Amino acid sequence: MARERLSGMADDATWHEFASREELAEALASAAADVLQAAIERRGTALLAVSGGTTPGRFLAALSRQDIEWGRVTVTLVDERFVPEDSPRSNARLVRENLLQDKAAVARFAGLFSDANTVEDAADRAGERLSHLPLPLDAAILGMGTDGHTASFFPDAGNLKSLLDRFAETIVAPVHAASGGEPRLTLTLARIVEAGFVALHIEGAEKHRVLEAASGAEAHLPVRAVLDRARQPVQVFWAP
């Protein structure tokens, strides 16, 4: 059973807390599916951005089983490691193996990686590709690291200030951050916070503590910028 509470957190993020990660996955998948189907009914199409990492696999599989008009949905990534799609580190691979299956197999996928000489060139190419998608995003599903990063907004990213620029016109930016491992490609904050539905999917006590801190005294953590600037209050989905 979900326990839902408004918090005094930054910009009134809404917490949805679940007894299990399985229950969270099903609830978030249902919420995301509702948002996508409503977008299809409103504008004939839906645009979804999902994150990678180790948390979202269960949610992505649950979403693939949702019965919506997947043929009208385009899926892209919140961020991507600068690696080929056959790499075990690839978020595109995670999405193809977990989301673009079952009912969602017919959805269109627009990844961020391309085999460019530099991550900067790859970001330019991705930005050009995504500029032809029906922006703004209808839904953005974010994760968070225990360092308070979300997307590829790593605290040690050299261009963090421009990544978090709420007025940026850039769609995809390159990121070099030692804490992020290989170079990254990321949607900018400006493209994420304009989404009609922004969910933050976190699991475990440590991430709960970090997000509470980010919403309070530790306002410098990158995730706080999303909480403060999202067009709609961020929907936090958490399980132990």
Ligand X SMILES: O=C(O)[C@H](O)[C@@H](O)[C@H](O)[C@H](O)COP(=O)(O)O
Site residues for ligand X per CB under 6 A: 51-55, 78-79, 91, 143-145, 150-151
Q: Are 173 and 159 in contact (CB under 8 A)?
A: yes
Shortest Å distance, C-beta 152 to ligand X: 6
Based on CB atoms, which residue is closest to ligand X, 55 or 74?
A: 55
Shortest Å distance, C-beta 101 to ligand X: 20
Based on CB atoms, which residue is closest to ligand X, 51 or 215?
A: 51
Return the residue nearest ligand X (CB atom): 143
Pairing outcome for strands 172-175 and 108-110: unpaired
**Cβ partners under 8 Å of residue 62, min gap 6:** 25, 26, 28, 29
Based on CB atoms, which residue is closest to ligand X, 91 or 215?
A: 91
Question: Residue type for 61, please?
Answer: A
Based on CB atoms, which residue is closest to ligand X, 35 or 142?
A: 142
Shortest Å distance, C-beta 79 to ligand X: 5
- Between CA 134 and CA 36, with CA 124 as vertex, the angle to 5 degrees is 25
Shortest Å distance, C-beta 207 to ligand X: 7
Q: Are 6 and 210 in contact (CB under 8 A)?
A: no
